[in-house]
Structure 1
Amino acid sequence: MRRLALSAIFLFILGLTYPAFAQSQPFLLKPANAIATKTHLILTVPLANKTKLDQTASEIAARFGVTLTAEWPLKSIAVHCFVVEANQQADMDSLIARMQADKQIRTVQRMQDFKTLESRYSDPLFPIQTALTQINAVAAQRYSTGSGVRVAVVDSAIDASHPDLLGRLTPAKDFVGVGQTIVAEDHGTAIAGIIAADVANATGIVGVAPTAELTSLRACWQAPNEQGECNSFSLARALNFALLNDFDVINLSLGGPPDPLLEELIQSAIEKNIVVVAAWGEDGVATFPASVSGVIAAGGPTKASIPAPSVDVISTAPHNDYRYVSGSSVAAAHVSGILALLLALHPDLPTETLAHALHASVRQRNGDPMIDACAVLHSEAKDTVSCK
């Protein structure tokens, strides 16, 4: 895998520097969907041993009159994350200001809420995948199907038992529940199908990169027929895992308000040459994290974003089903799949080169701009890839 040697050295040094984290330690956790309230703050302190962290947490709680709700080491940026709850009457702006001035606290911010970006439709499924035709994926798949590329899907839970996803995913990680929760949710399952649905099972649909390796990093939760929800804590833990485990692509088909901690993690991923793809948003303006410099934005109306299919796309649904999905979340999934095709051929390309290849491969299709997957491959392998 790319960057494997550097990651191994980093983790070895981290283990020497912070011996308490060299082995598994008990940390206070609470389901993420139980802490997304207006009275919670998320703060970081320098990474230290468990005893020191416990003392720091107690001192902060006593000094500011807050209650520790959850915690987790974010080893990828060498900090420990605390989620604390203030009382209902607290002046949150004043509390944040006092915490920002505190020498023990590195960063402090409000707990932010995020949404998976999808416009839901009840239309019947179409018998063909027009999206693959729109992006010229079949021509691209003559040269690459994404083999060996690892894609982290930070989203709601993927149904790993779906016949089009069976055997396509590594073991999932759940950053919403406490412990491993076995669930299957609409949004994550649809995004996974678009990126990498099985090509060899003669069932259902074909993904853009059907042999790429997917991992479900569940950071969002979703009630049936409802939009998915996430928060700063669950997303931070998922991104931390993705950084520490050296994924090639991180797909973020979600959006919300600017978040300093998440931006720090995303920038750290970009610095490690991990490609971060995010959904543009649904209001014509880039939402966070698509707005972050270095992130590849998908599905937006401007030339800063990569145009990809985002309306009436058939994909996988929980419980062996299929459904019709729309939204910039869908566009991001297509772009992540195309990047997997390219990285399978050229695993060491930097993010800047990948972004340039995407922007240079936008073509007019039926009068509208659309990414051409085969042209993306051709841009980096002109002598071996023909899109005719």
Structure 2
Amino acid sequence: MIRFLALFAALGLIVGALPRTASAQDWRLADANTLAPATFLILTIPQDEPQALAALADTLEADFGVLLAAEWPLNALAVHCFVFDARNVPDVDGLIDAMETDARIRTVQRVRSFSLTEVLHTDPLLPLQWSLRSLHVLPIHALSLGEGVRVGIVDSAIDGGHPDLANRMADLRDFVAVEPTPLAEAHGTAVAGVIGAAATNEGIVGVAPSAEMVGLRACWQQDGAPGVCNSFSLARAINFAILNEVDVLNLSVGGPEDPLLTELIEAALDAGIVVVAASGEGEELVYPAALDGVIAAGQVAGRSVPAPMIDVLTTAPGAAHRYVSGSSIATAHVSGVVALMLAKDPTLTPAAISERLQEAIREVEAQPMLNACTAILGPNEACAL
């Protein structure tokens, strides 16, 4: 593999140096936005000693004509991941077929691309925070503010210095850039504001203003464009969330079905984590909201939980606020309600929470809408309207 180091450096893919060690910070990583979905492959390998993994990486490079771009341990699944650059391979599909029959390789897949779901609206005269009234959240704040519940937000970078969020973020991690720098991106900041903006200042109030929020940057935004994520960054972020015992996992993303992410999300559900994902803006549930056990949030008929998603006031980078729309914002509302539910009753399982959310859907102006009061107190309790 030494013969490839100069080429790796030219490609901008080397971020660490051999030999590898078992310490997480010493594994070779790459900026997630340099991994093109069509030509980079993620392999999972049974975990082994660093020297054995290094030798296997060399052998796989030689056997398949690929270059190692990144690697990291995925401890939530007890596997090690290699990301290989297959740009010089003329038949990538054939390469995947060959790798799938190799006994040394547990799984192989392309790096897939995901997008943040959002529709922007900027009318400044829209009613302020109508969404909290529509959800019947405010009466519940006398009983639950989300205390002690940890919400992982897999998204773009959250502005941790925003006045509504400055004391609300328990942790901020970057799974996109190898050398993280302080960032504030629009989508993640908006989602965090809906979930848990502080209730102690003159800004907005989040659905669960006392929940602990963990910002897990797995998506990136440039020049105001919609955010982009991929299998590499999302897998690392979800792995961190599982290992660090979040209670609620907010996935305001949508994209193609992804075997590795499916395995991780199922591991999260098995660990008792409530996973909430955006239903998408079409007529069918998008992935990962379509997975069994995941709570889909939005206005897709059927299994999704309807929540406010049109012209919702929330936080924006630089101490600002803006109106946003889309199933990403519905997802944030549902995650906030789940945090209120868990703070009130920590024994609730993901399945029980999903059932109670479905039972708490009511008609509001001829449209289905989640009633947070009913979800938390139960259908037989009186809820202030």
TM range (shorter): over 0.9
**1:149 paired to 2:156:** no
Match of 1:243 in 2: 242
Q: Distance in 2 between matches of 1:324 and 1:114?
A: 23
Amino acid in the other structure paired with 1:70: A
Q: Distance in 2 between matches of 1:60 and 1:125?
A: 59
1:386 deviation in Å?
Answer: 4.5
Q: Give the TM-score, by structure 1 length.
A: 0.91
Which structure 2 residues correspond to residues 331-346 of structure 1 after superposition, within 5 A?
331-346=330-345
Structure 2 residue runs of 5 or longer lacking an equivalent are 1-20
1:124 deviation in Å?
Answer: 2.4
1:282 counterpart SS class = coil
1:147 counterpart SS class = coil
Q: Distance in 2 between matches of 1:52 and 1:251?
A: 36
On the 8 A contact 1:125/1:324 being kept in 2, the answer is no
Match of 1:61 in 2: 61
Q: Distance in 2 between matches of 1:264 and 1:358?
A: 25
Can you list the C-alpha shifts for 1:109-143, whole angstroms capped at 9, x where unaligned? 01100000101223326452111111011112121
Match of 1:173 in 2: 173
1:247 deviation in Å?
Answer: 0.4
On the 8 A contact 2:66/2:89 being kept in 1, the answer is no
Q: Distance in 2 between matches of 1:125 and 1:258?
A: 39
1:237 deviation in Å?
Answer: 0.2
1:206 deviation in Å?
Answer: 0.5
On the 8 A contact 1:378/1:387 being kept in 2, the answer is no
Match of 1:113 in 2: 113
Match of 1:317 in 2: 316
Match of 2:231 in 1: 232
On the 8 A contact 2:171/2:213 being kept in 1, the answer is no
Q: Distance in 1 between matches of 2:170 and 2:181?
A: 15
1:159 counterpart SS class = coil
Can you list the C-alpha shifts for 1:329-370, whole angstroms capped at 9, x where unaligned? 000000000000000011121111000110000011111100
Can you list the C-alpha shifts for 1:67-113, whole angstroms capped at 9, x where unaligned? 01011100000001111111345211100000000111100001100
Q: Distance in 2 between matches of 1:310 and 1:76?
A: 32
Match of 1:283 in 2: 282
Q: Distance in 1 between matches of 2:46 and 2:178?
A: 24
Q: Distance in 1 between matches of 2:272 and 2:317?
A: 33
Q: Distance in 2 between matches of 1:49 and 1:89?
A: 29
Pick which of 36-45 and 332-341 moved more.
Answer: 36-45
2:68 counterpart SS class = strand
Amino acid in the other structure paired with 1:332: T
Can you list the C-alpha shifts for 1:1-28, whole angstroms capped at 9, x where unaligned? xxxxxxxxxxxxxxxxxxx64x445111
**1:93 paired to 2:103:** no
On the 8 A contact 1:286/1:300 being kept in 2, the answer is no
On the 8 A contact 1:375/1:387 being kept in 2, the answer is no
Structure 1 residue runs of 5 or longer lacking an equivalent are 1-19
Q: Distance in 2 between matches of 1:35 and 1:284?
A: 31
Q: Distance in 2 between matches of 1:108 and 1:267?
A: 18
1:295 deviation in Å?
Answer: 0.3
1:249 deviation in Å?
Answer: 0.3
Q: Distance in 1 between matches of 2:25 and 2:306?
A: 44
1:52 deviation in Å?
Answer: 1.0
Q: Distance in 2 between matches of 1:36 and 1:209?
A: 37
**1:216 paired to 2:233:** no
On the 8 A contact 2:176/2:233 being kept in 1, the answer is yes
Match of 2:269 in 1: 270
Q: Give the TM-score, by structure 2 length.
A: 0.92
Which structure 2 residues correspond to residues 348-363 of structure 1 after superposition, within 5 A?
348-363=347-362
On the 8 A contact 1:125/1:314 being kept in 2, the answer is no
Match of 1:260 in 2: 259
Match of 1:138 in 2: 138
Amino acid in the other structure paired with 2:238: L
Match of 2:27 in 1: 27
1:77 counterpart SS class = coil
Q: Distance in 2 between matches of 1:56 and 1:387?
A: 62
Amino acid in the other structure paired with 1:32: A
Amino acid in the other structure paired with 2:51: T
On the 8 A contact 1:250/1:277 being kept in 2, the answer is yes
On the 8 A contact 1:285/1:300 being kept in 2, the answer is no
Identity of aligned residues (%): 49
1:25–1:142 CA distance, 2 compared to 1 (3 A): closer
Q: Distance in 1 between matches of 2:195 and 2:122?
A: 22
Root-mean-square deviation (CA), in Å? 1.4
Match of 1:103 in 2: 103
On the 8 A contact 2:24/2:73 being kept in 1, the answer is no
Aligned length: 365
Q: Distance in 1 between matches of 2:68 and 2:225?
A: 30
Q: Distance in 2 between matches of 1:97 and 1:215?
A: 38
Can you list the C-alpha shifts for 1:184-229, whole angstroms capped at 9, x where unaligned? 000000000000011011x221100011010100000011321000
